Amino acid sequence: MSGFTVGLAVIGGLVLAALVAWNAWTTRRNTPRQPEAVAAVEPHDAGRTEPVFDPMASPLPLQEKRPGLDALIDVLAPVALESVISGEAALAAMPPTRRAGSKPFAVEGLNEATQQWETPQAGQRYTAFQAGVQLTNRTGALNEIEYSEFVMKAQAFADAVNGAPDFPDMVEEVARARELDQFASAHDAQLGVTLRAKNAAWSPGYVQQNAARLGFVPGAIPGRMVLPAATAGSPAVLGLSFDSQAAMADDPNQSALRSVTLSLDVPQVDRSEQPFVRMRDCAIGLAATMDGAITDDNGQVIHVDALDVIGADLEHLYDTLDAHDLAAGSPLARRLFS
């Protein structure tokens, strides 16, 4: 074999080796990162417990009962009674739906024993009622059509309990709804940052495992996790979401995620939870652990100092909400910004 032929053979071998290495690297890069395996507990280790990520082990917080009507964000119509009404009679008189258009509608009774306003309950007696409809929410301000529907529902309830309702002026209440809606729209902050994989993609299990280490638990829908609040029944502090189709795939480990989103609904979460600080820390921690970059919706990298500026601006928003008796995370704020 001539030297030239040998040279070609050597070059061919090097090219083949390079192709094999490149294919192996590409395959590894395109294979989603998998969660770390957790060692099984041997019988002689029964006294020890190992940290295990179990999606069903962390229940979601219980939902808090609906907060009461309030003149600050509701239209209120008192209903005077000729005699005391039982809770059973009040429940039977309730309308089938609890909305007037897109606005929540409610009826409360003045409990004869406790002298407190509450949603009517069986076994209780009531000396008066009040019907209410919310002035505004994230669908917009109460309009004339919704106000008229409120009047019809409240009047039907009053007739059923032999009561006399007193409705406020529609024009004034609709104007008040628009004013409150303008304030709410100007102070409604819903923040989100996206973590994007720099190199290898992530499997859903890999994301869940790393998020679980920061306190996240599975949410109510596939592809969503939440960071629970310190107080049971309060809204989640943060949300973490990714492609729901990947989460529901036959083999989620083969699903490739290139991004996940951290979200914060500012008015829904109590200021004392330090939600933005925790969002910032979670974003930085996950980016470091999973080899990701913190970006906005358009893929532009967000630097840590920019996050600090956002945090400072949020403090002013919190102060404004506090000054209007609509503190973030309070029952009224949670109703208004919903």
Q: Which domains does the chain have, with CATH numbers?
A: 74-185 (3.30.1400.10), 189-336 (3.30.1400.10)
Distance CA(27)–CA(297), nearest Å, equals 28
Quick one: pLDDT band at residue 131, thresholds 50, 70, 90?
very high
pLDDT given at position 255: 87
Mean pLDDT of the residues in the chain: 87
| In the predicted structure, residue 117 carries a pLDDT above the cut 80 | yes
| In the predicted structure, residue 162 carries a pLDDT above the cut 90 | yes
Distance CA(303)–CA(329), nearest Å, equals 28
What value does the mean pLDDT take over residues 224-251?
92
Quick one: pLDDT band at residue 35, thresholds 50, 70, 90?
confident
- Sign of the C-alpha dihedral, residues 158, 162, 166, 171? positive
pTM over 0.85: no
pLDDT given at position 38: 58
| In the predicted structure, residue 49 carries a pLDDT above the cut 80 | no
Give how far Cα 76 sits from Cα of 69, 151, 277, 327, Å. 8, 11, 38, 22
| Digit-coded pLDDT (tens) for 215-228 | 999 999 999 999 99
Q: Which residues does residue 117 pair with via DSSP β-bridges, in sequence order?
A: 110
